Amino acid sequence: MNKIVLAPQGFKESLTGMEIAKAMSIGVKRVWPESETVLIPVADGGDGTLQALVDSSGGDVRTTRVEDAIGREIDAEWGALGNGTTAVIEVANAVGLARLGQNERDVRNASTFGVGQLFTEALDAGFTDFIVGVGGSATNDGGAGMIQAMGGKLTDSDGEDLARGGIALADLANIDLTDLDPRMTDVNVVVACDVNNPLCGTRGASAIFGPQKGASQEDVQELDAALANFADVIVKDLHTDVAEIPGAGASGGLGAGLMGFFDARLRLGADIVLDAIDLVKHLEDADLVIVGEGQIDRSTVFNKSPVAVAQKAKIKGIPVIGIAGSLGGGYQEVHEHGIDAVFSLVNRPMSLKAAMEDTKRLVTIATEEACRAISLSI
């Protein structure tokens, strides 16, 4: 083996994608010490996307003081990629549901104001291209708070500024972007999104994602009506209709806001990441690709990065193996999607806690054993 591409994603609550790739490299070198290992951690638009893009591009993670979904000041991370022009914003880092306690959730009034603050910080630092991961928000305001943070005016029929939060959109009458940060007219925004829900209705943001954010059935109905009004005013004042576009309902309607206000494009998260790290170039002349995920199971075949990587490798006829923390139900289905064989870290009876505490060593061992099996046939 001359060249092996190591393209794992992070193992949730354990190691980052780069840490996993480094552990894999040690295992590979034990079998083929002269081989070249190319470490390119990946992600699918969810947890770990920011870190994977930063690591792969030689960028850095920065921290900015912003407001969380309920208005408290927090430190939120965002990514500055190595190309010097692209910033990565993970919505959950600013206004994520995981930042709130169970009794702190306030889906009616939660705001994306902090997302707008992250955009402004990145603009101040000179960034012109944005990758936005929209999963995990505590909000249902269609991105209204983001616009308010960046100078846009949302007013009611009396000309009064609208309060923050999704429920306030029921009173929205006018949108005025005269004072919106003018730098946004020259930027490119791509949204990492793996849902295709419209903004409103039975499959919309409020109905599908509202309950997990604490919305009652009455809240769902009122928030859905408020977002419908929001969409109508966007059509009236911005002359664009985004309500029915697949993905508009992502992250409490933030998908619609990003498209309506910033002309953003929605793409599958895995595809965005693989393009950003130029995976196809790294695959040139590769003899083997090793992917990794915390658990490989039936869900891995649906827009997850291990399969996305494998499918690109298969176009070039490169064999692919997978290293997983565990193998779940239906894991064999990945064999039909480009992953030729999979190996679990768990090599003896152990608890989940024990496995997670020893992930680096176990990844190295599993990778070494997989490579030894392969070496028998070459």
CATH of domain 49-269: 3.90.1510.10
Number of Cβ within 10 Å of residue 338's Cβ equals 23
Q: Tokens 């009611």 correspond to what residue?
A: 156
Distance CA 23, CA 374 (A): 18
Distance CA 46, CA 250 (A): 12
Of 341, 336, 344, 330, the residue nearest 293 (C-alpha): 344
Distance CA 204, CA 187 (A): 28
Mean pLDDT over residues 251-275, rounded?
93
CATH 3.40.50.10350 residue ranges for the chain: 3-42+278-375
Mean pLDDT over residues 163-182, rounded?
97
pLDDT, tens digit, 9 for 90 and up, residues 289-337: 999 998 899 888 877 899 999 999 999 999 999 999 989 899 999 999 9
Asked if 118 and 80 count as a contact pair (C-beta separation under 8 A), the reply is no
Residue 354 has pLDDT above 80, yes or no: no
CATH 3.90.1510.10 residue ranges for the chain: 49-269
pLDDT, tens digit, 9 for 90 and up, residues 59-108: 999 999 999 999 999 999 999 999 999 999 999 999 999 899 989 999 99
Residue 356 has pLDDT above 80, yes or no: no
- Report strand pairing: 73-80 vs 129-133: unpaired
Task: Kindly list the distances between the CA atom of residue 216 and the CA atoms of 114, 143, 212, 224, in Å, as whole numbers in the listed order.
Answer: 25, 21, 10, 12
Cβ-Cβ contacts under 8 Å for 5 (sequence gap 6 or more):
37, 38, 40, 282, 283, 286, 288, 289, 290, 313, 318
Distance CA 260, CA 291 (A): 36
Considering the domain delimited by 3-42+278-375, tell me its CATH architecture.
3-Layer(aba) Sandwich (3.40)
60: tokens are 């850095």
What residue spans of the chain are helical by DSSP H?
Answer: 17-31, 49-57, 91-95, 113-124, 144-149, 205-209, 217-238, 250-262, 269-276, 279-282, 305-315, 352-357, 359-375
